[in-house]
Amino acid sequence: MADVLQEIASKLYAGEAAEVAELVQAALDGGMAPAQVLSGGLIAGMDQVGKDFKAGELFVPEVLIAARAMHAGMGILRPLLAQTGVPSAGKYIIGTVKGDLHDIGKNLVKMMVEGAGFEVIDLGTDVPPDKFVAAVKEHQPRLVGMSALLTTTMVNMKTTVEALQEAGVRGSVKVMVGGASVTDAFAKQIGADAYAPDAASAVDVARSLVA
């Protein structure tokens, strides 16, 4: 049994989407619980991807391919997980802030935190502050992640934090920020809870914020 999980993890690492899907189905047919397939196979594989990406042994394209394989597996698991009521790690709203159309970093984070078991709601790019507030209202997430590549749009992260404050919901979510030019000092100054320097760290940060 455990061999199947290990195989799922290693196929995921290698980015073999079709095989991951097949293996997931096989594991389920063999009577394994969906939650076990998720944590022992998909999340375990994605964790390894995160570690190696952080260490510089994997690069962005490889991560994207692995994430695609993860999605293939999740496609099968998701309806079953919802049925069995397996709790997700929490809802996570993500978006690139207003004025900024860059989505690679945001998508990487999305895949990684999804891989870590969060239920991600992706608002896309160029998301104005009131959209973030509306999404928080609708989904009542535990985490809000913001991405910005440009120094000129980073200021909109502050505007978004302020919009959450004004709505009165700032205290009920944790806010994390990231992007090529973003720094820890910047995150502190705008009143975010945390800064993640890359997609793999984003998972650790997200986990520690909801711990």
Partner 1 sequence: MTVALGIDTGGTYTDAVLVDHISGRVLAKAKALTSYHDLSIGIGQAVTEVLQCATVSVLPVDVGLVALSTTLATNAIVEGRGCSVCLLLIGYDPTLIRQYGFERDLVTQDVVYLRGGHDGAGNEVEPLDEAAAREAILARRDRVEAFAVSGYFGVRNPAHELRVRAMIEELTTPDGPSMPVTCGHELTTHLNAVRRATTAALNARLIPLLRELIATVRSTLEERGILAPLMIVKGDGSLVQAGWAMQRPVETILSGPAASVVGAWHLAGRRDVWTVDVGGTTTDIAALNDGRPKLNPEGAQVGEWRTMVQAVDVHTIGLGGDSHVRVDEKGQPLIGPRRVVPLCLLADRHPEIVDELRHALGARQPGDLDGQFVMRLRPPTHAVSEEDESLLRHLALSPQSLRSLADRLRYGSLVVYQLEQLEARRLVLRAGFTPTDALHVLGRFECWNTQAARLGAALLAAQAGLAPEALCERVVSGVSDRVTTALVSKVLSDEVTLPEWEREPAAAALLMRALGNVTGSDLGCELKLNKPLVAIGAPVEAYLPRVADQLRTELVIPTHADVANAVGAVAGSVVQQIEVTIRPLSGNQHVRLHLPEAVLDLPTVEEGVAYAERVVPGQLEALARQAGADQVQVRMARVDQNAPTKSGWNECVYLGTELTFTAVGRPSLARAARSA
The H-or-E segment that residue 24 falls in is helix 17-29
Whole-Å CA distances, 95 to 42, 85, 125, 172: 24, 27, 6, 18
Q: Which stretch binds partner 1 (CB under 8 A): 35-43, 44-52, 113-121, 132-140?
A: 132-140
Among 32, 39, 167, 204, binds partner 1 (CB under 8 A): 167
Is residue 16 within 8 Å of residue 69, measured between CB atoms? yes
Where helices occur in 43-192 by DSSP H, the ranges are 44-54, 60-84, 104-115, 129-139, 151-167, 184-189
What residues numbered 136-165 form the site for partner 1, per CB under 8 A? 137, 140, 151-152, 154-156, 158-159, 162-163, 165
Of 210, 207, 22, which is closest to residue 115 (Cα–Cα)? Answer: 207
Q: List binders of partner 1 among 72-101 (CB under 8 A).
A: 99
Q: Residue 201 has which token pair? A: 């760290």
- Angstrom distance (rounded) from CA 106 to CA 181: 14
Residue number with CB closer to partner 1 (84 or 183): 183
The CB-of-109 to partner 1 minimum distance in angstroms stands at 17
90 vs 99 by CB, closer to partner 1? 99
The single residue among 33, 80, 86, 180 that binds partner 1, judged by CB under 8 A, is: 180
Phi, psi torsion values for 135, nearest 5 degrees: -70, -40
202 lines the binding site for partner 1 (CB under 8 A) = no
**By rule CB under 8 A, what string of x and - marks binding of each residue 4-33 to partner 1?**
------------------------------
Chain residues in the site for partner 1 (CB under 8 A): 99, 129-130, 133, 137, 140, 151-152, 154-156, 158-159, 162-163, 165-170, 172, 180-183, 185-186, 189-190
